[in-house]
């Protein structure tokens, strides 16, 4: 069985991916995708109502992946729960044997399929990380002692190409101080820029997994540039895909080439295939 925590500790080139939980009770495709990836990656992120679209809970889906002999990285957002529910879910995750969690703010409901939903944001991401660290130490947010502490490897997210990098580095430091022990980044498309980013990180023991997003077409790339904050896809990559006789194949090749470059210096990658998980084996084969 894959072991994300061990992979990080052993300083391997770590590979993670993510799967969207289903919008309903049919978990067949979800489990099949996990089976496709289980021998290729070290951990699988389970997204938490990503893009504010309602789906089966990330906690339940993480347990399903655990039962399928994979190592889930349980994503939990501040958007949908107050501090009581956040702590309950983190304790529940640990009690069920889930070992990894990724703390996120969460997309605003205005952008999702229930725009009338009221966001919570009782805690911010740094407070959530600090809360998870407290649970690992056996106390809740109020300092009350737990009957059995959690055992969660706490992760966070960051953006290596953020518009205000001074602020981004400050936020990374705050997250590390609060208890984050690994980071998965927003999608990157320039290995050189990512290397510069890593050189500016003070905490060398913290592992950073570069976000990798396979591009299916030039149109997809342009939409991402326009609609998704924090994603910057160079124009030469877009033109390259646009001119290719097979844009999808070219997109996979570009993705694999980026992973090859990152293998030379990075801690690992996090592949965000966006309902395109069946192509991950091909990408990793090309990236050898």
Buried-state track 169-188, b at ≥16 Cβ within 10 A, e below 16: bebbeebbebbbbbbbbbbb
Q: Which tokens hold the place of 239?
A: 């033109």
The class of domain 4-286 in CATH terms is: alpha beta
Determine the average pLDDT of the residues in 193-219: 95
Structure tokens at 131: 């809360």
* Nearest-angstrom CA–CA distance, 143 and 137: 10
Position 204 scores a pLDDT of: 84
Mean pLDDT within 134-145: 98
Give dist(CA 21, CA 12) in Å, integer.
28
What integer pLDDT is reported at residue 162 of this predicted model?
87
Partners of residue 131 on adjacent β-strands: none
Give the pLDDT confidence score for residue 2 in this predicted structure: 81
Task: Examine the pLDDT at 42 and tell me if it is beyond 90.
Answer: yes
Does residue 155 have a pLDDT over 90? Answer: yes
Question: With bands split at pLDDT 50, 70 and 90, how would you rate the model's confidence at 227?
Answer: confident
Which among 76, 111, 78, 72 has a CA at the least distance from the CA of 91? 76
Per-residue pLDDT, averaged over 29-50, amounts to 96
Q: What is the pTM of this model?
A: 0.96
């Amino acid at each position: 069985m894959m072991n994300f925590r061990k992979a990080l500790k052993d300083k391997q080139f770590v590979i993670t991916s993510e799967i969207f939980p289903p919008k309903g009770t049919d978990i067949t495709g979800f489990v099949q995708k996990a089976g496709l990836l289980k021998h290729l990656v070290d951990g699988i992120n389970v997204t938490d109502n990503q893009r504010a679209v309602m789906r089966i809970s990330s906690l339940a889906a993480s347990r399903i992946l655990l039962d399928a002999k994979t190592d889930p990285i349980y994503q939990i957002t501040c958007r949908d729960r107050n501090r009581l529910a956040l702590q309950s879910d983190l304790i529940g995750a640990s009690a069920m044997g889930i070992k990894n969690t990724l703390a996120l703010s969460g997309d605003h409901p205005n952008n999702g399929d229930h725009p009338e939903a009221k966001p919570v944001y009782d805690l911010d991401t740094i407070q959530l990380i600090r809360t998870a660290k407290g649970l690992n130490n056996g106390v809740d947010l109020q300092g009350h002692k737990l009957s059995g502490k959690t055992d969660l490897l706490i992760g966070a997210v960051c953006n290596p190409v953020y518009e205000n990098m001074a602020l981004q580095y400050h936020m990374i430091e705050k997250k590390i101080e609060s208890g984050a022990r690994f980071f998965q980044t927003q999608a990157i498309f320039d290995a050189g820029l990512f290397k510069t980013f890593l050189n500016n990180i003070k905490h060398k023991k913290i592992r950073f997994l570069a976000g990798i997003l396979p591009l299916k077409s030039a149109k997809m790339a342009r939409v991402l540039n326009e609609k998704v904050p924090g994603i910057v896809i160079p124009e030469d990559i877009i033109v390259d895909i646009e001119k290719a006789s097979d844009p999808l194949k070219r997109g996979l090749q570009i993705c694999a080439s980026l992973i090859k470059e990152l293998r030379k210096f990075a801690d690992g990658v996090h592949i965000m295939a966006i309902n395109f998980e069946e192509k991950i084996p091909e990408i990793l084969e090309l990236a050898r």
